[in-house]
A = this chain, B = another copy of it.
Amino acid sequence: MTNYKLILEYDGTDYHGLQRQPGLPTIQGVLEKALEQVASVESPLYAAGRTDAGVHARGQVVNFFGSLKAPPEKFPAAVNAFLPPDIVVRCCEEAGEGFNARSSAVGREYIYYIHLGDYPSPFHRRFTYYYGGDLDGDKMGRALRAVTGVHDFASFCRREEGRPTVREVHEAEVWRWGEILGVRVKANAFAWMMMRMLCGSLLEVGRGKWSVDYFQQALGGKDNSLSGPALPAQGLVLEKVYY
């Protein structure tokens, strides 16, 4: 029995999130069914990031114990043959016995994509949130600087039993490329809804409703009634997991 690590990319639009839920299409449910065709899986599937309904991934990592019916380098093509085109296994490798996609991860990187255009383009709609106006990206970047380091993100997340709200943010930046504004955050881990509430609050800064100081006070207040509205799932992508 070997421990296998997979890197996944998916378009989360048509799924009820990563975690298996009875009767609903989920990334995990579909992936487990495909894996059964080409591997014998003898453990639960562990995932680095529990992406919510509609959230995408370019670099989700999962692991499981079992054996493959094809060598690891040919395994992605084998399992992809049983997956729909919106979920792809990018690579597969043997991991040490102690490796766990979730608990071994030392960092996760998310980008939230906002489309600033004159109209909601059909070419962008699946992977961005459309904001029909302009945003002050520089001001958003100055506000975002406050989140670097260790903070209690209670203001910018939904409470969840047993899941801490103190997180360490390693890198945080706002960039602009044409009509796309990206908010990139790398942290040891994320609290529930943290990226979407953080970005919803940054949007208030970008559209001039909040000052940079107000954003920083909201973060310090540790109360999620201070947050801006959470942005929709469709703009959020789990880009990379660090080990």
Using a CB–CB cutoff of 8 Å, the interface residues on chain A facing chain B are 9-11, 56, 58, 76, 80, 85-90, 118-123, 125-127
With both beta carbons as reference points, the residue of chain B lying nearest to A125 in the complex is identified as B85
State the CA gap A30–B120 with chains docked (Å): 18
Cβ–Cβ contact B121 & A9, under 8 A: yes
Interface of A is mostly: loop
How far does the Cβ of A110 sit from chain B's closest Cβ, in whole Å? 15
How far does the Cβ of A70 sit from chain B's closest Cβ, in whole Å? 16
Specify which of A56, A76, A122, A127 lies most central, judged by the most chain B CB atoms within 10 Å of its CB.
A122
Q: Could you say which residues of chain B place their CB within 8 Å of the CB of A127?
A: 123
Specify which of A10, A90, A119 lies most central, judged by the most chain B CB atoms within 10 Å of its CB.
A119
Task: List 9 A-B pairs, minimum CB-CB distance, nearest first.
Answer: A11-B122, A86-B122, A88-B119, A85-B125, A90-B119, A10-B122, A9-B122, A88-B122, A9-B121
State the CA gap A202–B37 with chains docked (Å): 37
How far does the Cβ of A132 sit from chain B's closest Cβ, in whole Å? 9
Cβ–Cβ contact A88 & B121, under 8 A: yes
Cβ–Cβ contact B9 & A85, under 8 A: no
In the complex, 9 of the A-B residue pairs with CB atoms within 8 angstroms, ordered by the A residue number, are A9-B123, A56-B123, A76-B119, A85-B120, A85-B122, A86-B122, A86-B125, A87-B122, A90-B119
With both beta carbons as reference points, the residue of chain B lying nearest to A89 in the complex is identified as B119
Q: Could you say which residues of chain B place their CB within 8 Å of the CB of A88?
A: 119-122
How far does the Cβ of A84 sit from chain B's closest Cβ, in whole Å? 9
Q: Could you say which residues of chain B place their CB within 8 Å of the CB of A118?
A: 90
State the CA gap A135–B201 with chains docked (Å): 44
Q: Could you say which residues of chain B place their CB within 8 Å of the CB of A125?
A: 11, 85-86
Q: Could you say which residues of chain B place their CB within 8 Å of the CB of A85?
A: 120, 122, 125
State the CA gap A123–B11 with chains docked (Å): 7
